[in-house]
Amino acid sequence: MSSEDPLNASPNDAVKRSRYTHRQLHLLRQGSTATPLRAIAHIDLDAFYAQCEMVRLGLPRDTPLAVRQWESLIAVNYAARPFGITRMITAAEARKACPNIVLQHVATFREGEGGRWAYRDDSFKNIKTDKVSLDPYRAESRKILKTIKDELDRWCTNEPDGEAHCFTQGLSAGLEKASIDEVFIDLSPLVYSVLLQRYPELRPSLQDENRDAGLPPPPTTAVPWDPEDFLVELDLHEREEDDPDWDDMVMLVGAEIVRAVRRAVWDELKYTCSAGLARNKMLAKLGSACNKPDKQTVVRNRAVQHFLGGYKFTQIRMLGGKLGDQITSLFGTEQVSDLLSVPLEQLRTKLDDHTASWLYGIIRGDDRSEVNPRTQIKSMLSAKSFRPSINSVGQAEKWLRIFAADIYGRLVEDGVLENRRRPRVITLHHRTAQSRSRQIPIPASNAVDENLLFELAKTLMRQVITDGQAWPCSNLSLSVSSFEEGVSKNKAIEGFLLRGDQAKSLSHGSRPRDPNAAASEQLPPEKKRKTDDNGIKRFFAQPPHTDSPVVDEESAQPQPDPDPISAAQRSPPEVHGSAMPYYTCGRCSRSIAELESEEHDDWHFAKDLELQERQEARDVQHQSRPTNSSSSSRGTGTRGRGGRGGRGKPERGQMRLAFQ
DNA sequence: GTATAATCG
DNA sequence: GGCGATTATAC
């Protein structure tokens, strides 16, 4: 073991600096996609539909169960898998392999029973009249998402005693709903704040003029990993005995948060999930599948090469289909390790430039895709396959009626009645020998109801028939898309955008080489800055999620996704000329061109410094408490302190005070 | 905007 | 394979 106290000056300090810089560390705070210190989690519910049925039926965990859809299985729980039950076998085969298995059929709509789905014990015999409903799973998915979000919010506002409030101000973790049973979480801003709380030596200081200088090393020689965490083995040339660097500490904190999230999902809803934690989405997603069920896997930076080298690249997102096949035949291998020895130039001779450089990066673990803070659905589809095919308008219209009812029910859940969101386009897909689709706008003048959807669907059906070969039809589906936000919300957002523009002109007026301008922009009239902060907090402090209770107060409604288009419009025009990359700053939700990332980062850095100085001044004034960076896991003394009068959330009030 | 394909769970 | 959802691409 080396020195226990690396902060003490010693001749060796120079060689023991972290290989990461202040700049890389502080990029974490904004959700920048460029820093190697990023912490991205992927959470995947284990055999989700099967778990939903286990929970709904109140069955013990060791009961073998599969979810049935007609004669197929669409989900198999872990208790059933040792019997050889997979999604690829039929219900009859499953029963034979495991006589005690519960084969629960999905809920269905039934012709002539209105728009209500139900669990029916004879649904598998009624493929002719029933249509599958996945609503029960959507509902559970929403609950789980809310639990995850609430737990993350707890971490965002969980402040230890003492002076570190400013590091959690306005914090939020980006949550991207990737599918009904998967989410990505950008833990970076959260991890950043925890690190700064626990390791004061990382905090921005006036001495750190050179932000490209290495950070001090972590004050430890061995990372205290939780025994429950699965660590991917290090690359061949790396050793566990080597001192950790800050990327390891980032993963340690990230793993703690993910564990807490998973525990919350279990404690509150009794669902198990698996998680992957890594520096980007691709690695996190591969990681979450490594140890299932109910486990989490950490892919440290120093393990990435070893980790990826063992994969077929067809396992990597986007390479599972035709592109992957094409690459396989072009290079005669499916192994990542084989492709690693192909130089970029050679990739370019066989693939278009964009694909070549993307591929070159992705197999080396380089994935800069953002966690898109989006939890709302973008389209809704209701479909039915016909075996045998159907042959008449009359038959088709029976299904259109059910599709309309299905979609309408989901729109109600989504808030059409309250005018929160409504779709602008309706589409009918139709399959005979080939696939066709037609779409039309949903008239903005009408209230969206079941009957309107049905009438529009019939109109589309007539068009399809007029177009050409409509029969025999083997598949029909109706979908709605292009959602728009309700009126009240738009007003509120316009209000914010105005303030956002003011803030923007302030922000972009500063150049890093003009400290005076930067400083003066920190000190506009207090009142105005407060307005801006409230605006941002009000609109973006909480990631949106679909099933938050509707609060009637206009300003308290759940938020839409930050619209990338309008976000782009808030940025300077030169940003949008071509494919200029930009990202949404995690701290202020402004759209920032990547070229201006550093400048914007500097602006936040300066602002952080100012905040911290103010806080320190306040602490001195108030006889500051001991500034231990004592561990701050959930529930350790963060509730209202006696001195504060026991308000519900004293931290919030405190934070605001710090800015006034 | 409209239509279709590709990819994923 | 059935049912859904998202994104990219071409026009």
Q: What are A401-417's pLDDT values in tens digits?
A: 999 999 999 999 999 99
- The pLDDT confidence band at residue A654, using thresholds 50, 70 and 90, is very low
Q: How far is CA A93 from the centre of its chain?
A: 38
Q: What is the pLDDT of residue A42?
A: 96
Q: What is the pLDDT of residue A149?
A: 95
Indicate whether A227 pLDDT > 60.
yes
Q: How far, in Å, CA of A453 to CA of A447, rounded? A: 10
Six token digits for residue A522: 């920190």
User: Helix or strand or coil: residue A620?
Assistant: helix
CA A362 to C1' C9 (Å) is 22
**Fold match, A18-226+241-274 / A379-485:** no
Q: What is the pLDDT of residue A307?
A: 95
Tell me how far CA of residue A504 lies from CA of A31, A215, A544, A588, in angstroms.
19, 31, 23, 10
More confident residue, A16 or A567: A16
Calculate helix-pair angle for A188-198, A135-157, nearest 10 degrees.
30
User: Helix or strand or coil: residue A74?
Assistant: strand
- The pLDDT confidence band at residue A295, using thresholds 50, 70 and 90, is very high
Q: Kindly report the bases of strand C lying within 7 A of a protein C-beta atom.
A: 1-7
Helix, strand and coil content of chain A, in percent to the nearest 5, comes to 45, 15, 40
User: Helix or strand or coil: residue A40?
Assistant: strand
**Nucleotide minimizing C1' to CA distance for residue A326:** B6
End-to-end, the C-alpha distance of chain A in Å comes to: 47
Mean pLDDT of A499-523: 30
Q: What is the pLDDT of residue A279?
A: 97
Q: Which helix (H) or strand (E) holds A406?
A: helix A393-414
Q: What is the pLDDT of residue A208?
A: 59
Whether A365 contacts A283, CB under 8 Å: yes
| HEC-encoded secondary structure of A582-609 | EEECCCCCCEEEHHHHHHHHHHHHHHHH
- The pLDDT confidence band at residue A624, using thresholds 50, 70 and 90, is very low
CA A482 to C1' B3 (Å) is 15
Return the ∠ at Cα A278 (arms to A274 and A284), rounded to 5°. Answer: 45
Q: Which of A146-160, A256-270, A563-577, A621-635 has the highest mean pLDDT?
A: A256-270
Mean pLDDT of A630-646: 32
Among A73-82, A313-322, A548-557, which is the least confidently predicted range? A548-557
Give the CA diameter of chain A.
Answer: 87
CA A429 to C1' B2 (Å) is 13
**Upstream peptide bond of A558 is cis (omega within 30 degrees of 0):** no
CB-hemisphere CA count at 13 Å for A243? 18
Q: What is the pLDDT of residue A585?
A: 55
Query: Where are the domains positioned within chain A?
Result: 18-226+241-274, 379-485, 498-539, 567-623
Q: What is the pLDDT of residue A337?
A: 95
Residues 6 or more apart whose CB falls under 8 angstroms from that of A635 comprise none
Q: How far, in Å, CA of A157 to CA of A168, rounded? A: 6
Indicate whether A231 pLDDT > 60.
yes
* pLDDT tens sequence across A104-146: 999 999 998 888 999 999 999 999 999 999 999 999 999 999 9
Calculate helix-pair angle for A246-269, A135-157, nearest 10 degrees.
130
Residues forming beta bridges with residue A351, ordered by sequence position: none
Residues 6 or more apart whose CB falls under 8 angstroms from that of A547 comprise A142, A143, A145, A146
Residue among A199, A157, A177 nearest A638 (CA): A157
Six token digits for residue A349: 């001779």
More confident residue, A448 or A530: A448
At the top level of CATH, the class of A18-226+241-274 is alpha beta
Six token digits for residue A469: 């070969």
* pLDDT tens sequence across A247-280: 999 999 999 999 999 999 999 999 999 999 999 9
**Nucleotide minimizing C1' to CA distance for residue A70:** C2
Return the ∠ at Cα A255 (arms to A249 and A261), rounded to 5°. Answer: 145
Burial category of A297 from C-beta neighbours within 10 Å (exposed 0-12, middle 13-18, buried 19 and up): buried
Mean pLDDT of A58-82: 96
Q: How many CB atoms lie within 10 A of CB A363?
A: 24
Which residues are in reach of strand C, CB within 7 A?
A 69-70, 72, 74, 87, 131-134, 138, 179-180, 372, 374, 377-385, 387, 406, 410, 475, 477, 479
Indicate whether A508 pLDDT > 50.
no
Task: Fold for A379-485, please state it.
Answer: Dna Ligase; domain 1 (3.30.1490)
Mean pLDDT of A601-629: 47
Q: Which residue is nearest to nucleotide C8 (CA to C1')?
A: A318
Indicate whether A590 pLDDT > 60.
no
Indicate whether A647 pLDDT > 80.
no
CA A441 to C1' B1 (Å) is 10
Q: How far, in Å, CA of A71 to CA of A651, rounded? A: 55
Q: How far, in Å, CA of A596 to CA of A508, rounded? A: 9
CA A119 to C1' C2 (Å) is 18
Residues forming beta bridges with residue A90, ordered by sequence position: A72
Residue among A167, A125, A141 nearest A546 (CA): A141
More confident residue, A7 or A321: A321
For A77-88, b/e burial (b = at least 16 CB within 10 A) is bbbbeebebeee
Mean pLDDT of A278-292: 96
- The pLDDT confidence band at residue A574, using thresholds 50, 70 and 90, is very low
Q: How many CB atoms lie within 10 A of CB A573?
A: 8
* pLDDT tens sequence across A469-495: 888 999 999 999 999 987 654 444 444
Q: How far, in Å, CA of A394 to CA of A404, rounded? A: 15
Q: What is the pLDDT of residue A607?
A: 56
Q: What is the pLDDT of residue A209?
A: 72
Q: How far, in Å, CA of A188 to CA of A183, rounded? A: 15
Q: What is the pLDDT of residue A586?
A: 52
Q: How far, in Å, CA of A541 to CA of A186, rounded? A: 14
**Nucleotide minimizing C1' to CA distance for residue A440:** B2
Percent of chain A at pLDDT > 70 equals 69
Residues 6 or more apart whose CB falls under 8 angstroms from that of A586 comprise A29, A30, A31, A32, A172, A174, A186, A188, A189
**Upstream peptide bond of A217 is cis (omega within 30 degrees of 0):** no
* pLDDT tens sequence across A141-151: 999 999 999 99
What is the average pLDDT score of chain A? Answer: 77
Q: What is the pLDDT of residue A31?
A: 87
**Nucleotide minimizing C1' to CA distance for residue A376:** C5
- The pLDDT confidence band at residue A357, using thresholds 50, 70 and 90, is very high
CA A180 to C1' C11 (Å) is 32
| Segment A52-56 long-range contacts (CB within 8 Å, at least 24 positions apart) | A52/A136, A52/A137, A52/A140, A53/A102, A53/A104, A55/A140, A55/A269, A55/A270, A55/A271, A56/A136
Q: What is the pLDDT of residue A133?
A: 95
Residues forming beta bridges with residue A592, ordered by sequence position: A583
Which residues of chain A (290-329) touch nucleic strand B at CB < 7 A? 317-324
Sheet holding A473-485, edge to edge: A379-390, A473-485, A421-431, A435-441
Residue among A336, A306, A29 nearest A195 (CA): A29
pTM of the full predicted structure?
0.76
Whether A428 contacts A461, CB under 8 Å: yes
**Nucleotide minimizing C1' to CA distance for residue A381:** C4
Residue among A34, A132, A145, A158 nearest A74 (CA): A132
- The pLDDT confidence band at residue A101, using thresholds 50, 70 and 90, is very high
Q: What is the pLDDT of residue A160?
A: 53
To which residue do tokens 């009030």 refer?
A: A653
Indicate whether A359 pLDDT > 90.
yes
Burial category of A150 from C-beta neighbours within 10 Å (exposed 0-12, middle 13-18, buried 19 and up): middle
**Nucleotide minimizing C1' to CA distance for residue A407:** C4
Six token digits for residue A492: 């509120």
Beta strands in A269-420, from DSSP E residues, in sequence order: 273-278, 296-298, 379-390
Indicate whether A66 pLDDT > 90.
yes
Whether A104 contacts A69, CB under 8 Å: no
